[in-house]
């Protein structure tokens, strides 16, 4: 079975029309979704921390065990086109999945627009080099690691 090639400018289509390879290619590789978040019980507001999932590779900003991540991190959220609306508040404001779910275009630094997978990092839009592993910070201390909303 041969994989279908990615369609030209597929990222402008509704998320529900993307093929599986196109869905995966929509990820900009920023790693922000792998940051641990704290949700305010009273307001529902989500706060990002600089504490990353234990599987995040801080240099590549990619999951080190993507295909089997749910086995290692059961609480990992797997994004689907049908379920993204319910959790879009949890995604960073620059996330391509969130942008497209909201009908907005991708940023110029997105690798699909720039043609360069390093553009997300050069634009300062990734977590490269500034996260801590969740294995090194006690969960009760995560509040001390809240960062500006992304």
Supply angle C-alpha 129, 105, 97, rounded to 5.
Answer: 60
Q: Name the stretches of the chain with pLDDT < 50.
A: none
Segments forming the whole domain that contains residue 41: 14-145
Phi-psi region of 79 (alpha: psi -120 to 50; beta: other; left: phi over 0): beta
- For residue 88, is it within any domain? yes
**76-104 pLDDT, tens per residue?**
988 888 888 788 888 999 999 999 999 99
* Nearest CA-CA partner of 133 in 69, 56, 79, 42: 56
Whether 3 maps to a domain, the answer reads no
Token pair belonging to 89: 């508040």
Residue 73 in domain: yes
Residue 42 lies in a domain: yes
């Amino acid at each position: 079975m041969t994989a279908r090639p990615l369609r030209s400018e597929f990222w402008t289509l509704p998320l529900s029309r993307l093929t599986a390879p196109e869905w995966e290619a929509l990820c900009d590789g920023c790693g922000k979704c792998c940051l641990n978040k704290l949700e305010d019980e009273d307001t529902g507001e989500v706060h990002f921390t600089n504490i990353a999932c234990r599987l995040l590779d801080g240099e590549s900003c990619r999951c080190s065990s993507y295909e089997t991540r749910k086995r290692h991190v059961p609480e990992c959220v797997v994004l689907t086109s049908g379920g993204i609306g319910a959790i879009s508040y949890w995604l960073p404001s620059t996330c391509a999945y969130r942008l497209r779910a909201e009908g907005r275009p991708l940023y110029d630094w997105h690798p699909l627009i720039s043609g360069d997978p390093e553009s997300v990092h050069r634009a300062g839009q990734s977590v490269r080099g500034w996260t801590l592993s969740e294995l090194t910070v006690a969960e009760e201390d995560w509040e001390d690691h809240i960062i500006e909303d992304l």
